[in-house]
Structure 1
Amino acid sequence: MSDETEASVAGAEEDAALADEAKGRSKKKLALLIAIPLLVVGGGVGAWQAHLLPFGKGGEKAAAHGGAGAKEAPGARILLSVPSATANLDNGAGRTVYVKMTASIEFEGAESEASLKDRLPEVEDIFQTYLHESRPQDLHGSGFYRLREALLRRLRVAFAPVNVSNVYITELLTQ
């Protein structure tokens, strides 16, 4: 009987070792079955974000930016540079304080850059009016953020059907 018990114990140990090895292989297979699709999907999303795919909106943007004679799409973003605006600030103390500001405006949904350039005097008027109403203290610290937000709000009202998505202030000098 001792031979039979030793053989059954040895067989049980072999079965346990095979079961542990099978569990290890099944975990590796499961990890591969999960990792490979994630890598494929991640690579596809990365290619779409980088506009490398020939289909979908990503490919259209790549073709539009790559083509020399590409027309501006109605939903495209247009960046319009505004000439420097110089204004005197409302100081109230009798001393004249001047401010010079240069900015660029980002539009979405405009038909063409030429139609926006026709309205450039209106943009300059909005800038001049707001700057003239401001005080020198208004432009320090977080006032720079308030200036940008106020101009953005006024431009959105003036260009109502077209979305003004951002105002980039490239230069702001006070004297």
Structure 2
Amino acid sequence: MAKDKQVSTDVVGGAADAAEAKPNKRKRMIIAAAAGVLLLGGGGGAYAFMGGKDAEAADTAEADHGEAAKEEGGHGEGGADQFVDVPAMVVNLRNADGGTHFIKLHFMLVPGAKATPDTLTGKLPLLLDAYQPFLRELRPEDLAGSAAVFRIKEEMLVRANSTLGTGYVKDVLIQDLVQQ
């Protein structure tokens, strides 16, 4: 009889383990399903955030533009852009406290559709004359933060277009910007 009691307790104990295993298995299934939904939702959200189909369309448009530039001959050999290196400019900044602050700026110009590097080099004195007043009116506070370079670059492009006309300068590439 002692054996019968052991057998019955083992069977009852085994049933208890099986009853506990069902809720644990169910919890695991629910957690796994929730994790799957979060992963799919996160992936879809990242796809939408990064541009989705718009990014693919932009890549296609860039590839088409690159092929068109090669067919037209571009600005140089192989359709690559040529750059006009502008000598570094050192300009004193406006300052309310009376101290001296300087900015050293080295940049390059990308010729637009109406210009070649040679024509831009010939018009460089006009362009530098247009940049001087803008750079001299900058304050040290204007150069703080990561957006400062972007603002300076955009203002230089606007001044190039107003001085030379639209289509002469496609972009301004800032190589060095040092404030002292």
CA distance in 2, matches of 1:158, 1:50: 28
**How do residues 40-79 of structure 1 correspond to structure 2 at under 5 angstroms?**
58-59=70-71, 61=73, 65=77, 77-79=81-83
Q: Provide the residue aligned with 1:157 in structure 2.
A: 162
CA distance in 2, matches of 1:49, 1:108: 15
- In structure 2, what is the equivalent of residue 120 of structure 1? 124
TM-score, scaled relative to structure 2: 0.55
TM-score computed with the length of structure 1 as normaliser: 0.56
Superposition RMSD in Å: 3.0
Distance 1:122 1:49 in 2: 31
- Distance (whole Å) between structure 2 residues aligned to residue 110 and residue 168 of structure 1: 18
Instruction: State the Cα distance separating 1:109 from its structure 2 match.
Output: 1.7
Shift of 1:115: 1.8
Q: 1:137 to 1:120 in 2, by over 3 A?
A: same
Unaligned runs of 5+ in 2: 1-62
Q: Are 1:88 and 2:92 an aligned pair?
A: yes
What percent of counterpart residues are identical?
A: 28
- From 163, 172, 179, the equivalent of 1:174 is 179
Kindly indicate whether the alpha-carbon contact (under 8 Å) linking 2:110 and 2:172 is maintained by their aligned counterparts in 1: yes
| Letter matched to residue 65 of structure 1 | E
Query: Deviation of residue 154 (structure 1)?
Result: 0.8
Gaps of 5+ in 1: 1-46, 67-72
Please state how far the C-alpha of 1:120 moved relative to its aligned partner. Answer: 0.9
Q: Is the 8 A contact 1:77 1:108 kept in 2?
A: no
> Residue 101 of structure 1 aligns with which residue?
105
* TM-superposition CA deviations, 1:8-32 (whole Å, max 9, x none): xxxxxxxxxxxxxxxxxxxxxxxxx
CA distance, structure 1, for counterparts of residue 117 and residue 154 of structure 2: 23
Instruction: State the shift of 1:100 in Å.
Output: 0.4
Aligned residues: 117
Q: Displacement, 1:60?
A: 5.2
Higher strand share: 1
Whose helix fraction is larger, Structure 1's or Structure 2's?
A: 2
* Regions of 4+ moved over 3 Å: 47-51, 56-62
